[in-house]
Structure 1
Amino acid sequence: MTDTAAAKTAVTPATHTTPPARFSHGVRKGNILQVAGQVGFGPAVAGRPPTPVGPGLREQTLQTLENVASVLEEGGASWEDAVMVRVYLTDTDHFAEFNAVYDEYFTDRVTVPAARTTVYVGLPAGLLVEIDALAVLD
């Protein structure tokens, strides 16, 4: 394996703020790209803290999926390359609504959906959903 194939590189789209702790939005090593958990923050605005796009699950889910897509694209991948998606919801009552938005989002984006796990967690105030993804590039 050459040094470049084995190099581990951080992936941060221009639309994302610096993470609040020492981690990367995404990491690529060879043909593997791991996207860290993304939330429904709107695009970064210089000098302003990140804020959710809205209080509702639908708008936060769509923004979260777009934020994951931005990291995938910055790392040279797409949703088509995603093999695993993990979803973190704050409320079990959101499961059906989340699935409806998720299904709508992916209808024309992938030929084979990624495997998915959904768990229920606590997130910082105002955030309803977090999503991470694992992609394998050809």
Structure 2
Amino acid sequence: MKKIIASPLAPKAVGPYSQAVEANGALYVSGQLPVDGATGAMAGDIAAQTRQSLTNLGHILAEAGYGFGDVVKTTVLLQHISDFAAMNAVYAEFFTERMPARICFEVAALPMGALVEIDAVAVR
């Protein structure tokens, strides 16, 4: 059975997708752009954008009763791979133990001109 998850604290989906879907004991969280759910604003630098993307991810995890410790896999999309170290420093503030598997790569462009987008899979 599939359950749709939506946090009022994270930005609403802007297309035909859900913030997250829970199925068979796993939570699949769509890519989170660095948009503040309350204001619609996007911060300027990679550190602030990474922090906002992960904060949005945290809101969605919490809405479904999960936490960062339940995340088993993330994908990080970067506008510029040269931002890897700055992104990684902020990422390490959110994932402090039992690190998830991760892939990170540079993409040609991200929606709204974002510098980063992060998705996740969590399992209880």
TM-score > 0.5, shorter chain as reference: yes
Matched, 1:51 2:41: yes
* 1:136 corresponding residue in structure 2: 123
User: Helix, strand or coil for the counterpart of 2:35?
Assistant: coil
* 1:95 corresponding residue in structure 2: 84
* 2:101 corresponding residue in structure 1: 115
One of 32, 37, 43 as aligned partner of 1:38? 32
Q: How far off its partner does 1:56 sit?
A: 0.6
Contact 1:61 1:98 in 2 (8 A): yes
Matched, 1:72 2:61: yes
Give the RMSD, CA atoms, in angstroms: 1.4
CA distance in 1, matches of 2:11, 2:112: 18
| Identity percentage of aligned residues | 35
* Length-normalised TM-score, structure 2: 0.91
Matched, 1:25 2:19: yes
CA distance in 1, matches of 2:105, 2:81: 9
1:39-66 deviation per Cα after TM superposition (whole angstroms, max 9, x unaligned) = 1111235xxxx331x1111111111101
* Length-normalised TM-score, structure 1: 0.82
1:114-134 deviation per Cα after TM superposition (whole angstroms, max 9, x unaligned) = 011001111124311000000
Matched, 1:14 2:5: no
Report runs of 4+ in structure 1 exceeding 3 Å deviation.
none
- For structure 2, the residue ranges without an aligned partner over 5 or more in a row are none
Q: How far off its partner does 1:89 sit?
A: 0.4
Q: Which protein has the larger Cα radius of gyration, Structure 1 or Structure 2?
A: 1
1:48-104 deviation per Cα after TM superposition (whole angstroms, max 9, x unaligned) = xx331x111111111110101111111111111110011000001101111122123
State the number of aligned residues.
Answer: 123
* 1:61 corresponding residue in structure 2: 50
